[in-house]
């Protein structure tokens, strides 16, 4: 099986009078259907790794293969196109438009995806149904709980049918019960075959994933789960 993601010697150094090494040379293989948690303290390099994986930042060195294609040196235009078509994002802050319905918020992703106008409502409704919000499609985010808003954000990411779902602290703004509901949603989606990479500072959250990477001072190591 071709890896969905393969990193070969990927590193990131930010230029300065004293250059800052955010990510040291890293190899990583992510196969379709993996659920991978990335943990580490603030400033450890986990956000840098996520940004590179999401084509939001460029590595200083190394190769990034997505579905077998090297994407590290693509033009900005091609990176944007690839990001919109193959990578879904879920953030700690929900980034929803307050005065647009859940359905309309999801359709925004489909607009950038290039989905034809006539099929956007159906695709958006399908995504909301996947996260259990079919009955809240016309509701405004201002009338929703934090858990519901995060599920709208997940539906927006899923609407483009991404190969890779990236989540940056997806439970960071939620209470423990609501966080558990969102993690259960991720578990169900992963059980359906969705590949998920999640950044979190919470090791209890990370323990829900099938695999875990820990980053210390830009050095990535895989943590073996105990039986």
**Mean pLDDT across 85-99:** 89
pLDDT > 50? residue 203: yes
What pLDDT is attached to residue 225? 59
Please report the domains of the chain, with CATH numbers, ordered by start residue.
5-222 (3.40.50.300)
Model confidence pTM above 0.75: yes
pLDDT digits (tens, 9 = 90+) for 137-157: 999 999 999 889 999 999 999
In the predicted model, is pLDDT for residue 130 greater than 70? yes
CA pair distance 53, 86, nearest whole angstrom: 12
Band the pLDDT of 59: cuts 50, 70, 90.
very high
Extended beta strands in 125-190, E state:
164-168
User: What three-state secondary structure class fits 168?
Assistant: strand
CB 87 within 8 A of CB 54: yes
User: Can you tell me the mean pLDDT for 14-42?
Assistant: 92
| pLDDT average, residue stretch 98-107 | 94
pLDDT at 44: 86
Residue 174 has pLDDT above 90, yes or no: no
Residue 227 pLDDT level (bands cut at 50, 70, 90)? very low
What is the pLDDT at residue 171? 87
Does 226 have pLDDT greater than 60?
A: no
Question: HSE (CB half, 13 Å, CA atoms) of 134?
Answer: 6
Region 107-117: mean pLDDT is 88
Closest CA to 38 of 30, 47, 29, 27: 47
pLDDT, mean over the chain:
91
DSSP string, 8-75: EEEEEEE-SSS-EEEEEEEEEEE-TT-EEEEE--TTSSHHHHHHHHTTSS--SEEEEEETTEE-TT--
Taking residues 200-204, what's their average pLDDT?
Answer: 88
Q: Are 141 and 156 in contact (CB under 8 A)?
A: no
How far is the C-alpha of 189 from the C-alpha of 223, rounded, in Å? 23
Q: Residue 91: its pLDDT value, please?
A: 86
Decide if pLDDT at 87 tops 80. Answer: yes
């Amino acid at each position: 099986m071709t890896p969905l993601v393969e990193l070969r010697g990927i590193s990131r150094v930010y230029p300065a009078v004293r250059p800052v090494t955010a990510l040291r040379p890293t190899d990583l293989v992510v196969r379709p259907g993996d659920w991978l948690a990335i943990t580490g303290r603030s400033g450890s390099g986990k956000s840098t790794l996520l940004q590179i994986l999401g084509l939001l930042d460029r590595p200083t060195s190394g190769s990034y293969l997505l579905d077998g294609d090297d994407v590290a040196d693509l033009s900005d235009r091609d990176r944007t196109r690839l990001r919109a078509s193959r990578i879904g994002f879920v953030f700690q802050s929900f980034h929803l438009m307050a005065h647009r319905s859940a359905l309309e918020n999801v359709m925004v992703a489909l607009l950038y995806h290039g989905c034809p106008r006539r099929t956007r409502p159906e695709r958006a409704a399908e995504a909301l149904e996947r996260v259990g919000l079919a009955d809240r499609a016309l509701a405004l985010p201002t009338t929703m709980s934090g858990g519901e808003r995060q599920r709208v954000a997940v539906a927006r990411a899923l609407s483009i049918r991404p190969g890779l779902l990236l989540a940056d602290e997806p439970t960071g703004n939620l209470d423990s019960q609501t966080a558990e509901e969102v993690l259960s949603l991720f578990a169900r989606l992963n059980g359906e075959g969705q590949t998920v990479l999640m950044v979190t500072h919470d090791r209890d959250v990370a323990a829900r994933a099938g695999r875990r990477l820990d980053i210390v001072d830009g050095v990535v190591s895989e943590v073996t789960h105990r039986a």
